[in-house]
Structure 1
Amino acid sequence: MLEVKGIGVKYGDVQVLWDISLTVGRGEVVAVMGPNGSGKSTILKAIIGLVRPSAGTITLDGKPISGRPAHDMAGLGVSLVLERRRLFPQMTVLENVRMGAFHSAVRSREKERLEWVEYLFPIIRERRGQLAGRMSGGEQQMVAIARGLMSGPRLLMMDEPFLGLAPRIVAQIIDIIRKINAEGIAVLFNEQNVHLSFSNAHRGYLLESGRIVLEGSGLAMLEHEMVKRVYLGA
């Protein structure tokens, strides 16, 4: 479904990604794992159109999407849940969630999408009128994911979805990812924690200093000698 082939990204004169290639198939959960500053978030931003690659190509269903503006991506079936939620704190939970269906391509399905995300996240219905800024970090993350799902994506990308969350909330988010994936939605997420990355993904990529140095199935990545030595201290 999604193919990223040989992309590079620069911020001004500073290159942060080199020759990045990865794929996400239909119905797959794919993880990009790497230390802080390795370029994980930049990959997702390049796919969604928030940064423009300086080299390489990005295709969706075989059609090029490189250079398409970010606001077009919802209509193509791609959604991004940003790092640290990025909600509108002075808007209500319901208002934040409904923003995910703002694009004209999906606005007509807003009611049915809202019913579905409230099924996945009962807290959305319970807290409809509460200001988003008064929720806990974990609750805000659920609102952010719900907002991302309102556009009815075929591919949901999540930028460090477990960052700063308590273990109980992490387990809830993992369960939600599995439910989303069971509906046929592909998921691409990035993470710094080896176990969270590869134990919850069909396939994974290891990113170091802007370059992919290893890829394989989730299980193979967990069992790889380099991963165990460098990241697990084995």
Structure 2
Amino acid sequence: MLRGDTTLLEQVFREAPEEASILVLSSEDFENALADERLAERISGQFASLGVEDVHYAVVTRKPDDYFFSIFAEMSKHKVVLDLLSVFDEVMRTGKLTVPMDPEAYKGVPGGWQFIFDYSRYIEQFRTIVKKPVHVFPFEDSPDFPGSDILKLVGGDAGQAIDVSMPEPADLEKYRNTRLTKKDIIRKYTRTLVSNLDYTDEQIRTIRKEVARKVNNEELEADIRKALLARFP
């Protein structure tokens, strides 16, 4: 959908059971539509072109400090190197973080990933464009699991079973979104930094120490968390 292709959406409509009255679409990549007005217009236009009028959008928000360090850790899994202070500066200035991605390596969103911190600004921008209800659910406030309150939009609750009719892959553990330790983050960032260059063992140790110096700096982390919470209450 973000690339302008409605083929999959049309297929879902065709194959949905006759008794189905609600279709739920969910993807982390949809966050880009909050930041990019063109994507918001594209998604809204796709629903209109298919004759779908009763559309509700749901946004799950996160505390800015937790989200910031979660992104910093997560990107180390994707061979992306983020400088902690540069990322902090961008977020404070623009209310979002843009992580460019190689379109050949990543087929998801045009231009890469967008991560929103200034929710009041970008959700209002999105609401103005789509002209449909936009429901906001704080990640931390969901009583059962993150985003479980979204089920209220479809008349359900967290205690109801949802049959997605999809077998679990044999290598499921590979895809679980597990929390990385600081040691993991240091190792992954260091590996990415030295992967394409001919460094000596001594140089690699120096790079690892520099990465560790920022990742393990508890005073710096505390200052960043305090500033983010003040900037995006």
Report the structure number with the largest CA radius of gyration.
Answer: 2
Q: What is the TM-score of this pair, normalised by structure 1?
A: 0.27
Question: Which structure dedicates a bigger proportion of its chain to helix?
Answer: 2
